[in-house]
Amino acid sequence: MSSHVIRGAEVSTDPSWRRDGGVVCDVWAVKRLFCLVRNVRLTRRYGPVRRGHEEEELWTEEDDDDDASLLTHPPAVDMSPADPTSDSTPFFSDDSEAEGPEEQGGAAVPREEEPPSGVSRVRALLTVFILCYINLLNYMDRFTVAGVLPDIEHYFGIDDGKSGLLQTVFICSYMFLAPFFGYLGDRYNRKIIMSVGIAFWSLVTLASSYTPREHFWLLLLTRGLVGVGEASYSTIAPTIIADLYVKGKRTNMLSIFYFAIPVGSGLGYIVGSQVGYIAQDWHWALRVTPALGLIAVILLLFVVQEPKRGAIEARPEHHLHRTSWLTDLQALSRNYSFVLSTLGFTAVAFVTGSLALWAPTFLLRAAIFTGVKAPCVDGHCSSSDSLIFGAITCVTGVLGVASGVQVSRQLRKKTARADPLVCAAGLLLSAPFLYLAIVFAESSTIATYVFIFLGETFLSMNWAIVADILLYVVVPTRRSTAEAFQIVIAHLLGDAGSPYLIGVVSDSLRRSDSFLWQFRSLQLSLLLCSFAAVVGGAFFLATALFIERDRDRAENYVSTDDEPIVVPSSGRSTRVPVSSVLI
């Protein structure tokens, strides 16, 4: 008579013992089977228990009654031919092999598991590089205007204040629309949103290159509309990278992504100045990036794949319920690491925005004042300063981002507060070098470039790290909103007003239109950059006080603030809203 073993209970499978679709077992086997059933019930009801007196105390008359009912109605096991068993097949097996094409061989064919994000490794890498390409185009377009700013001033006959408005109107539209695109990015297909925005940006940029001399306001309007397209991209792209990679890989990919900022900015100066010089018309400088932007749209639509939000962090989107926009804002306002790091990043934006627009013009005025270069003639100015400053921006950006990430990675082995400390050090070290660069401009061109190189290198250490801080202190379903509001605050208090502020201060300090006061007034106004860098360093030092707590909260985040959870209370368990137990 053949039989199967169920943890010590021998159950016969001989066909002569079958009756009414069930199996008749001997008495001892039934007793052992009932012990198994009892243990399962006790474990479900009271949890695991030790053998001995505690186990006997948990045995109740109710359990005896339940087991007695099993004696009169033994468990049925379907032994019909449709579900055949054999002597060599376990009756109840927890680790049976999966069925596959090689059923007789017993070995299943291994299948490649789909990544949690739903995007293959190759497609994820392509996505990151395409996003980097678009980010490079964004900053290249943004600083093309700075590369030909002296030509624009002569073409339209405008002063420093109006020149600063070109950057200010762009940043204002960019930051005011960022929350709108952040809201959309947390709820709808991010690839489609970016594609539409970049296509719009490319067309508007092309239109701005046809602005006639007597309509400066049209150039301001089109530069403002360019911010619409860039807002649709900048708020969303980092969140896609966050949904493709985690931890160290995410930091590395963000580093590659943020390399595009200094490289794109430098290329903007270089391409803008050189194309304008070759064509003898600054309008052509604005016609390069639109064609490249349309290529980016095609790559987005046909290569980039939308990843699942939060799935890469073992928190699938259906477990992270979306909350209302107001709830998201309230949660972000209580996230001190996010708030303080955003204020620190605002200082970075203030400094970079000021230098981006005014540094080439400042260097040109210094060269004219010292007699190294001749003044602009017939609206055509020397482009060598934009070319050199652009090259410095490219090199220092790559060097600064890479060194910042590497220093942060090494410091993380010693302290969990490494990221904000590295950001603080970068700003505090950049302040004196930027001050020296501005002061030495009238006496030594070489010293000025050396100090600019050092100052921008330390300043660039922040880019990738600040983005990484936001992504690990904010939960996935709020990241686009957080990106949007970081953009709003950083630009509203940073580079939206800083170029215009520097220009207005320069105009107010200028006593005459001589070359001396054109240079001196701009020199004094640019000293504000060093002060802003020190303030930003202080905000990052404050961020270090809260970074560990906020990261733990994000990693252990539950679906909603009011979702009930089970907690112990007076020897029993009770369900309370999670918000009532958060510190």
Q: Is pLDDT above 90 for 534? A: yes
Helices (H), 412-514: 418-439, 445-459, 463-473, 479-490, 498-509
Q: Is pLDDT above 90 for 347? A: yes
| Cβ–Cβ under 8 Å, residues 161 and 507 | yes
Judgement on whether residues 164 and 60 belong to the same structural domain of the protein: no
pLDDT of residue 70: 42
Residue that is last in its domain, among 42, 72, 102: 72
Neighbouring residues of 375: CB distance < 8 A, sequence distance ≥ 6? 368, 515
Judgement on whether residues 241 and 336 belong to the same structural domain of the protein: yes
pLDDT of residue 380: 61
How does residue 208 score in pLDDT terms, banded at 50, 70 and 90?
confident
pLDDT of residue 311: 66
pLDDT of residue 162: 81
Distance (Å, whole) CA 435 – CA 420: 23
Judgement on whether residues 33 and 125 belong to the same structural domain of the protein: no
Judgement on whether residues 158 and 10 belong to the same structural domain of the protein: no
- The residue with greater pLDDT, 120 or 449, is 449
Judgement on whether residues 19 and 145 belong to the same structural domain of the protein: no
How does residue 82 score in pLDDT terms, banded at 50, 70 and 90?
very low
- The residue with greater pLDDT, 147 or 430, is 430
Q: Is pLDDT above 90 for 454? A: yes
- The residue with greater pLDDT, 40 or 528, is 528
Across the range 220-243, mean pLDDT stands at: 84
Look at residue 310 and tell me if it is in a domain.
yes
* Residue 244, Ramachandran bin (φ over 0: left; ψ between -120 and 50: alpha; else beta): alpha
How does residue 384 score in pLDDT terms, banded at 50, 70 and 90?
confident
Percentage above 70 pLDDT, the chain: 71
Look at residue 109 and tell me if it is in a domain.
no
Q: Is pLDDT above 60 for 292? A: yes
The domain of 26 spans: 3-72
Distance (Å, whole) CA 520 – CA 364: 12
Q: Is pLDDT above 80 for 117? A: no
Across the range 235-248, mean pLDDT stands at: 82
Across the range 236-257, mean pLDDT stands at: 82
| Cβ–Cβ under 8 Å, residues 477 and 309 | yes
| Residue 500: alpha-carbon gap to chain centroid | 29
Judgement on whether residues 153 and 294 belong to the same structural domain of the protein: yes
| Cβ–Cβ under 8 Å, residues 328 and 484 | no
Judgement on whether residues 65 and 137 belong to the same structural domain of the protein: no
Across the range 545-564, mean pLDDT stands at: 75
Q: How many domains is the chain built from?
A: 2
- Which one of 90-99, 235-244, 380-389, 407-416 scores highest in mean pLDDT? 407-416
pLDDT of residue 2: 46
Judgement on whether residues 15 and 127 belong to the same structural domain of the protein: no
Distance (Å, whole) CA 530 – CA 528: 6
Segment among 68-72, 200-204, 207-211 with least mean pLDDT: 68-72
| Cβ–Cβ under 8 Å, residues 197 and 229 | yes
| Cβ–Cβ under 8 Å, residues 469 and 412 | no
Residue that is last in its domain, among 14, 38, 72: 72
pLDDT of residue 142: 82
pLDDT of residue 270: 85
Q: Is pLDDT above 70 for 319? A: no
How does residue 35 score in pLDDT terms, banded at 50, 70 and 90?
low
Flag whether the pTM goes above 0.75: no
Judgement on whether residues 184 and 269 belong to the same structural domain of the protein: yes
Look at residue 378 and tell me if it is in a domain.
yes
Question: What ranges make up the beta strands (E) of 387-429?
Answer: none
Return the axis-axis angle of helices 528-543 and 336-369, rounded to nearest 10°.
160
Look at residue 181 and tell me if it is in a domain.
yes
Q: CA 333, 336, 339: angle at the middle one, nearest 5?
A: 65
Q: Is pLDDT above 50 for 110? A: no
Segment among 61-70, 311-320, 384-393, 470-479 with least mean pLDDT: 61-70
Percentage above 90 pLDDT, the chain: 20
Judgement on whether residues 372 and 460 belong to the same structural domain of the protein: yes
Q: Is pLDDT above 60 for 106? A: no
Closest CA to 167 of 494, 390, 499, 487: 499
Q: Is pLDDT above 50 for 250? A: yes
User: What's the chain's average pLDDT?
Assistant: 76
> Residue 391: which CATH number?
1.20.1250.20
How does residue 456 score in pLDDT terms, banded at 50, 70 and 90?
very high
Q: Is pLDDT above 70 for 260? A: yes
Look at residue 344 and tell me if it is in a domain.
yes
Segment among 73-87, 218-232, 370-384, 483-497 with least mean pLDDT: 73-87
pLDDT of residue 577: 55
Q: Dump pLDDT digits (tens) for 149-159.
A: 878 887 888 87
Distance (Å, whole) CA 456 – CA 351: 10
Look at residue 560 and tell me if it is in a domain.
no
How does residue 39 score in pLDDT terms, banded at 50, 70 and 90?
low
Judgement on whether residues 68 and 125 belong to the same structural domain of the protein: no
| Cβ–Cβ under 8 Å, residues 182 and 484 | yes
pLDDT of residue 540: 97
Q: Is pLDDT above 90 for 387? A: no
pLDDT of residue 379: 55
Look at residue 298 and tell me if it is in a domain.
yes
Across the range 481-505, mean pLDDT stands at: 84
pLDDT of residue 17: 42
Judgement on whether residues 324 and 414 belong to the same structural domain of the protein: yes
Look at residue 199 and tell me if it is in a domain.
yes
Is residue 280 packed enough to be buried (19+ CB in 10 Å), middle (13-18) or exposed (0-12)?
Answer: exposed
pLDDT of residue 530: 94
Distance (Å, whole) CA 161 – CA 448: 25
